[in-house]
Amino acid sequence: MSHPGLLQRLAARLPLWRRFLPALAFFSGFIWDSLTMGRLVSFSDLLILTAYYLGAALVLILLVREIKPAWHMWFGLLIQFLFGGLFSALVVFYFKSAGSLYTFVVVLLLATLLVANEFLAEKYQSRTLSWTIFAACGTMYLNFLIPHIAHSVRPAWFYLSCLISLALVYAIRRFARAMHRQVCLPGGTKVVYRSDLRQLAPATAVTLLLMVFYQLQLIPPVPLVLKENLLCREVNKTDDVYQCRAEQQPFWHLSGLRPEVIHHQDGDRIYNLSAVFAPQHVTVDLEQRWWQRDAEDKTWRNRGIVPLAMVGGRRQGWRTYSYIQATARPGRWKVETALQNGAILGVHHFIIKPRANSTPTTYTITVR
């Protein structure tokens, strides 16, 4: 077998392989963080996130200055790895603690869009998207970092994170352009900066959109994660272990495609047991809101709000519950686990039906 022939074949396929390198770099960042980061957030984890964020900022500065050293062809791969590491690191904490499916799907969607851009977009478009992703990364990162510093979770921290992230985008670009108005490379080639601020318009739009989504309570209050959300007929606690007696449900109800059904008699209690993961030492004021849907006008009517306090840092999540008894009536219901007067962590839909004398089939769920 001829080695030169092998090298020629590899060289011929190199352009095809290079198309997939950005995707490989992005998802390798996700796999690396999945293997190296734990469930609870440590100081070293925050340092890793900071390194990703600052590293992405440095690469963006080099891109804006349009300086092309011998290794400039690796800029795209490097920034893809840093973005992948930053996004995935934030998701891994939620994925390992609670399996937050919606957050995981959103990040996968962003990853897909980012990788697709590398296949289709030209340099200018890629840079525009890089600023946009950097703004989104910054918001997620700062919104994760500030509660650790402030030891609290408040809506104000999310808006502050958005403003700081967007301000850093503009500051980094201004800094990169202000270093030199013109750079002379070896060989006498001169590079002039672009001053088109339209590159930053999508980053501004995404930041404003995140604020609107948060105001509409479409974004859960990161870094809180709802680990468990169980509808129970009975809740018992023994030696710091909670046991929930849940009513047996058909497959379509357990899959979430249809609301669960609870058979109820006067005097029965219906519990909602939740486990919420939060950063260490962070205090949070939660509440569970019980709603019943009016059969006539199809609106949701509040049947009770139960305040619940929690302290973050527990590996399996802080466990808490509330229940309804006197207000329980047949019909469609939902119970929301949320910040007090704030964003919703999760919603559990169910239907109450009258129960005959027979006892429904139940099973035990253990929450440690």
Q: What percent of the chain has pLDDT over 90?
A: 28
- 86 falls within a domain: yes
Say what the pLDDT of residue 344 is: 83
Res 100 pLDDT > 50: no
d(CA 277, CA 223): 8
Q: Which of 194, 215, 236 finishes a domain?
A: 215
In this prediction the pTM is 0.71
pLDDT 10s digits, 207-252:
998 888 788 777 767 788 788 899 999 999 998 899 999 998 887 7
Do the strands 260-264 and 241-247 form a parallel or antiparallel pair, or are they unpaired? Answer: unpaired
pLDDT above 70 for 18: no
Asked which of 197, 215, 233 is the last residue of a domain, the reply is: 215
The number of C-alpha atoms within 13 Å of 326 and in the hemisphere containing its C-beta is 1
Report the distance separating Cα 173 and Cα 195, nearest Å: 10
Say if residue 62 is in the same domain as residue 191.
yes
Average pLDDT, the chain: 77
Residue 273: which of 320, 315, 212 has the closest Cα? 320
Residue 1 lies in a domain: no
Domain that holds residue 275: 225-367
Beta bridge partners of 216: none
Same-domain status, 112 and 204: yes
Mean pLDDT value across residues 262-270: 91
Same domain, 243 and 172: no
Decide if pLDDT at 10 tops 90: no
Kindly state whether residues 187 and 299 are assigned to the same domain: no
Please report whether residue 265 resides in a domain.
Answer: yes
Residues in the chain, overall count: 368
Residue 182 located in a structural domain? yes
pLDDT bracket for residue 192 (50, 70, 90)? very low
Same domain, 209 and 241: no
275, part of any domain: yes
Query: What is the reported pLDDT for 95?
Result: 57
Question: Is 220 contained in some domain?
Answer: no
- What is the C-alpha separation between 7 and 232, in angstroms, rounded? 65
Determine the pLDDT at residue 366: 92
Task: Give me the DSSP letters along 39-71.
Answer: SS--HHHHHHHHHHHHHHHHHHHHHHHT---TT
Indicate the number of domains in the chain. Answer: 2
Q: What is the 3-state secondary structure (H, E, C) of 128-162?
A: HHHHHHHHHHHHHHHHHHHHHHHCECCHHHHHHHH
| Mean pLDDT, rounded, for 11-29 | 58
**Residue 310 covered by a domain:** yes
Regarding whether 177 and 140 lie in a shared domain, the answer is yes
Same-domain pairing of 203 and 247: no
Tell me the pLDDT tens digit for each residue of 39-89: 566 788 888 889 999 998 888 887 776 656 565 566 667 777 787 778 777
Q: Identify whether 347 is part of a domain.
A: yes
User: What was the pLDDT predicted at 68?
Assistant: 61
Same domain, 205 and 298: no
pLDDT on residue 106: 58
Query: Is residue 193 located within the same domain as residue 257?
Result: no
Return the CATH number at 351: 2.60.40.1930
Residue 153 shares a structural domain with residue 77: yes
- Alpha helices by DSSP H, the chain: 3-36, 43-65, 75-97, 101-120, 123-150, 155-179, 201-215, 251-254
Residue 62 tokens read as 């080099």
